[in-house]
Structure 1
Amino acid sequence: MRTVLFACIVLVLPLPVMGTPADTIDVRLEDHQWEHRLLFVFAPSDASGARAEQEAAFEEHDPGFRERDLLILTVMGPSKGTQRAAPAADPQPLTEAAARRLRDRFDVPEDAFRVVLVGKDGTEKRRDPEPVTARSIFDTIDAMPMRQREMREQDGGGE
């Protein structure tokens, strides 16, 4: 019995280690509806100064992102991107098709910088042409009726 169990474990272990296209995420907005708020950062390239400034503005704000169920999706150039659960979380690469689809969906030119906030209902809540502060994004979210309800529920059931 131990030999069979050992053989099963050995056969399964190499699969997650292999670098395959399955490691990439094919993001679709409808998959996140009612679960996550999405913050898109579109940049002309990985080396964009505005992208670096935006990432610096979000540093050390992981708890705020997590409290608000806010995922960060960064799209760089025409077809490269990542998804993170919070600013300091490990980035997961997006498929090239997903990155292109998101840039098209939000009508952001390849040479433009944009920050786009999408609510849990799947609609665009805000769009900025330059880097924004985490506090500014949190204030926008905290003013939303759904977030107000979430905060009441966290504070004791909305009495």
Structure 2
Amino acid sequence: MSKTLLYGATKIDETNSAYAPAESLAQFQRKNRVFVVFPDRDNSRAARQENQLLADRSALDERDLVVLKVSGAGVRPLFGAADGLDGEAIRRDLEAPEVGEFAAFLLGKDGTVKLRASEPITDGELFAIIDSMPMRAAESMKPDKSS
């Protein structure tokens, strides 16, 4: 059993056709992976999740990750550029829990949910999940542009 399961995370079977791309986050498809945080009532787990992720901004950038925090109808980008997003539409598309319940979701570049977590996960766990994705493996094989 993977460690992420012990932390309340569920890796989604991306081959299931029921997991259609989230239309509310369509602006990121093919360009970015998106990590969406829905804060808990006292914000303690959300703050822990934010601190975990934002500790290594270069790793977020390397993995083309955008990090969003959805509070009610509001959406605040924590890392990466985002505008014109509707928090209620994102909550509906991701079937997120009620306002005040912590949840975190990872969407792949194809726009589908790859991970759903009910507890914060470490940046190492998140990066391991991303790095195991076929599209990420293909990106890693491309020659470095700076060479």
TM score, norm. by length of structure 1:
0.69
Matched, 1:70 2:28: no
Q: Tell me: CA distance 1:146–1:35, structure 2 relative to 1, closer, same or farther (3 Å).
A: same
Matching of residues 143-158 of structure 1 within 5 Å: 143-154=132-143
Select 2:92's aligned residue among 104, 107, 112: 104
The structure with the greater share of residues assigned to helix is 1
Corresponding residue for residue 115 of structure 2 = 126
CA–CA distance in structure 1, aligned partners of residues 26 and 83 of structure 2: 19
CA–CA distance in structure 1, aligned partners of residues 38 and 61 of structure 2: 21
Higher relative contact order at CA 8 Å, sep ≥6: structure 1 or structure 2?
A: 2
CA–CA distance in structure 2, aligned partners of residues 51 and 118 of structure 1: 18
TM score, norm. by length of structure 2:
0.74
Secondary structure, aligned partner of 2:142: helix
CA–CA distance in structure 2, aligned partners of residues 48 and 122 of structure 1: 26
- Between the aligned residues of both structures, percent identity stands at 30
Select 1:38's aligned residue among 34, 38, 53: 34
Higher gyration radius (CA): 1
CA–CA distance in structure 2, aligned partners of residues 54 and 93 of structure 1: 22
Of the structure 1 ranges 112-121 and 50-59, higher mean CA displacement relative to structure 2 is found in 50-59
Alignment length (residue pairs): 122
Q: Tell me: CA distance 1:51–1:32, structure 2 relative to 1, closer, same or farther (3 Å).
A: same
| 1:50 Cα deviation after fit | 0.7
Corresponding residue for residue 74 of structure 2 = 80
CA–CA distance in structure 2, aligned partners of residues 65 and 139 of structure 1: 12
Secondary structure, aligned partner of 2:121: coil
